[in-house]
Structure 1
């Protein structure tokens, strides 16, 4: 039996050079590219019209969202993007890479979990969180804390399991609307 790679959409708000989100995104992309089970697609919300976003999410088997925390939540433009998609989120696993604030972005992740639960998506437990964001990565773009790479590996292990299980389930029985 041939096992097709899982299509992983990495959803980011922008990829401006020098921003922490860009540094974290580029590092995470390298982590994903070291694994055979994923085919990665970067979805930059700054360059992707909202009208084409539903099709991009529909094609994905799983999604990882990179988001800062603003005012104990996630940014409004990310909420608009999530709401523009609706049905393609159903029965899709979603993971989060968050940063900012005293919580390291965890409050943004917790609110995103609530939203994705309402959208019938499956937010996975593992989350990458960066406290004191600018000091989390060295000048070479690698995490200062060596356990960060292990945490990313565990996130990808769980995301892979859920993505394969849910892809197979959706293929066998369409998700009820």
Structure 2
């Protein structure tokens, strides 16, 4: 990657004793090695979630939407709760709409034997509806309680690092491609008759 990319990291858990901060800290440290990346962090624990209409939540949600709008790509850090992803993450996703569209999304999941992959599969369906592109490769941390030491560091980060770097290659390609397409207005194509077929054109 040679262009600066703005990536918003979205945490998915607000449970007491959550492991999300440890997983997110590892991710932020890994991403911090790339000078091309500008990172922002969205933590649902900082957002009142009683209702979308909560006056206390409104300015916080507006700030969050600005962060999402400014991002070229997203990485979601999610556990798996009851075969799916947490309600707190759903709240964040549903608090925005256009800000997600035509941008790539990567996933770092964690959990028990599944490593959170069932949560990710549900999220792929959600982001397809939001016209976002989900990355094929995702980081999955199975039996996550055994992977971190007492200082909150991954005991053996080699495999997650390899997968993360592969995902970043995909995320970077899509982020640049879609950013250029949005700038060229190619994502609102005009249908123009040409012979027997139709031609897509960008302004």
TM-score, normalised to structure 2's length?
Answer: 0.79
Aligned residue number for residue 58 of structure 1: 69
- CA–CA distance in structure 2, aligned partners of residues 101 and 176 of structure 1: 42
Cα 1:112–1:156 change in 2 (3 A) is same
Corresponding position of 1:130? 141
1:9 and 1:81 map into 2 onto residues whose CA distance is 13
Give the C-alpha shift of residue 123 in structure 1. Answer: 0.6
Task: Between 9-18 and 22-31, report the one with greater CA deviation.
Answer: 9-18
Task: Select the structure that is richer in helix.
Answer: 1
- Counterpart for residue 173 of structure 1: 185
Residue 145 of structure 1: how far off its partner (Å): 4.9
- Which entry has the higher C-alpha Rg, 1 or 2? 2
Residue 37 of structure 2 corresponds to residue 43 of structure 1: no
Q: Is the 8 A contact 2:10 2:77 kept in 1?
A: yes
Q: Which moved more, 1:148-157 or 1:116-125?
A: 148-157
Residue range with higher mean Cα deviation, 119-128 or 36-45:
36-45
Distance 1:108 1:175 in 2: 29
* 1:93 matched to 2:104: yes
Cα gap change, 1:4/1:68 in structure 2, threshold over 3 Å: closer, same or farther? same
Q: What's 1:160 paired with?
A: 172
CA distance change for structure 1 residues 116 and 148 in 2, over 3 Å: closer, same or farther?
same
Partner of 1:11 in structure 2? 10
1:55-108 deviations in whole A, cap 9, x for unaligned?
A: 211100000001111010001121121011111111010011111133110000
Larger RCO: 1 or 2 (CA < 8 Å, sep 6+): 1
- What secondary structure does 1:125 align onto? coil
Q: Pick which of 110-119 and 92-101 moved more.
A: 92-101
SS at match of 2:28: helix
Verify: 1:23 aligned to 2:35, yes or no.
Answer: no
- 1:151 Cα deviation (Å)? 1.1
Name the SS for the 1:40 alignment partner. Answer: strand
Q: Secondary structure at the match of 1:67?
A: strand
Q: What residue ranges of structure 1 are gaps of 5+ in the alignment?
A: none
* Residue 144 of structure 1 pairs with residue 156 of structure 2: yes
Across the aligned residues of Structure 1 and Structure 2, the Cα RMSD in angstroms comes to: 2.2
TM-score, with normalisation over the residues of structure 1? Answer: 0.89
